[in-house]
Structure 1
Amino acid sequence: MSRAYLGIGTNMGDRLNNLNDAIEHIKQFENTEITKISKVYETRPWGYTNQNDFLNLCVSIDTNLKPEELLQKCLEVELNLKRERIIRWGPRTIDIDILIYDDIICNGEKLTLPHPRIQERAFVLIPLMDLKEDLIIKGMLLKEWLNELDAEEVKEYIGDE
């Protein structure tokens, strides 16, 4: 089996329910098991900023799916959960990214591994640290990448008040 790490985010509708729905769909992938789920974090939008705050988490999975098959399954979950791609980095009911798949490095037309902007996003690095603190990405520990970023806006989600 291969180990993969997925990043999941949402900022539309019932955000916590969207994350839970995505996890439930991932649990149904054939020959795949979720091994760990990070805490949920709330973050300001990245890229296109005129939108609601996001809830983000990461999951580690063991899978026999090939990277391209896993990508297709993740895209199917996004469609099932009514994801619409209107504005790049815009609002979404759900976003599922393959962040890392074993130690595979690829720059395909549909899939780049590791995720090309993983080291730029504290909202990905922090939940990844929940899963595996000593994970090395592009030659550096997560903590080292995080030291390069402003992570103050990434807060553990404790529910809507």
Structure 2
Amino acid sequence: MPSRCHIALGSNLGPSVDHLHAAIRAIHGLGGTRVIASSSLYTSPPMAGMKQPDYTNAVIAIDTTLDALELLDALQEIEQAQGRERHLRWGARTLDLDIISYGHQCLNLPRLTVPHYGVAERAFVLLPLFEIAPHYQFADGRQLTSLLAACPPQSLTQVPDSIPDLSGTSQA
């Protein structure tokens, strides 16, 4: 039985929109996985006042038969294939893929925490998630609408006409 998961995507190096679209196609191509919905793209400033280019962000919903760590490994392989280097926390990157939710599970593993530990402070995740799942409730019981209402103000701009092309993928 597939698990419904939400993945946050971000990029601020190189052709960010292209990186996100390529990542969505690669995720859809994973065995036992299909993308079922994708938010628009949004631009946002980097976290913690880092001096770097603005990010382009999105959230997708997937159904997958991969277990949580298999999914994490697959996402990290996609990041690496697109030139991701891990040098500095919150540093600039070609691609960042975070598992925001995994089914109706709360996970606290050495390599993975779900719901994602920083989701409540990240409007660049909450707003795109709201776009594709407005009534979402996290596995720990928190309501998306409550988190979004309490989220610290952040500058987000929707990229016009930016819903990724999911032709060839099923949408629910």
Contact conserved, 1:48 with 1:90, CA < 8 A, in 2? no
> Could you say what the CA RMSD is over the residues aligned between the two structures, in angstroms?
1.2
Output the TM-score relative to the length of structure 2: 0.89
Separation in 2, partners of 1:106, 1:55: 27
Instruction: Specify the code of the residue in structure 1 equivalent to 2:50.
Output: T
Show the counterpart of 1:123. 124
Alignment partner, residue 143 of structure 1? 145
Structure 1: any 5+ residue segments left out of the alignment? Answer: none
Q: How many residue pairs get matched? A: 159
Is it true that 1:156 corresponds to 2:158 in the alignment?
yes
Residue correspondence of structure 1 range 44-83 to structure 2 within 5 A:
44-47=45-48, 49-83=50-84
Could you list the runs of 4 or more consecutive aligned residues of structure 1 that deviate by over 6 angstroms after TM superposition? none
Give the strand-richer structure, 1 or 2: 1
Letter in 2 for 1:93: T
> Is the Cα–Cα contact under 8 Å of residues 121 and 152 in structure 2 kept in the other structure?
no
Alpha carbons 1:48, 1:89 under 8 Å: kept: no
Alpha-carbon displacement from aligned partner over 1:59-107 (angstroms, at most 9, x marks no partner)? 0000100000000000000000000011100100000000000111111
Whole-angstrom CA distance in 1 between matches of 2:48 and 2:117: 14
TM-score, length-scaled by structure 1: 0.94
Distance 1:48 1:89, change over 3 A: farther
Cα drift, residue 47 of structure 1? 2.6
